[in-house]
Amino acid sequence: MTGPDTRAADPAAACSVGRHVPGGAIVVDEHGTRHAKCRHCGCSLSRLQSIRRWYRSGQLG
Ligand SMILES: [Zn+2]
């Protein structure tokens, strides 16, 4: 169960440029948006169905 993101040489640096890696439980809400927490820095992440990338969702509450 390894992906490209886990091969980052420096996870902390990856987080600093917005390349977070979701870890643990992923929750899908009624809009189909997925929510998880970054396995490296612990920030809240969301992913829309329409865009295939995770983004930090802390500012959205
Ligand atoms: Zn992170």
The residue type of 1 is M
- In the reported structure, the alpha carbon of residue 19 is separated from the centroid of ligand 1 by a whole-number distance in angstroms of 7
Using the mean position of ligand 1's atoms as its centre, give its distance from the Cα of residue 21 in Å.
6
Measured in whole angstroms, how far is the alpha carbon of residue 22 from the centre of its chain? 4
Convert the pLDDT of each residue in 43-61 to its tens digit. 999 998 888 888 888 654 4
Q: How far is CA 36 from CA 9, 10, 28, 55, in A?
A: 22, 20, 9, 10
Question: H or E element: which one contains 15?
Answer: helix 11-16
Tell me the β-bridge partners of 37.
23, 44
Q: How confident is the model at residue 58, as a pLDDT? A: 64
Q: How far is the CA of 22 from the centre of ligand 1 (A)?
A: 8
Q: What is the pLDDT of residue 61?
A: 42
> For the segment 5-45, what is each residue's pLDDT rounded down to a tens digit?
555 568 788 888 888 889 989 999 998 999 999 998 999 99
The structure's pTM equals 0.67
Distance (Å) from CA 20 to ligand 1 centroid? 4
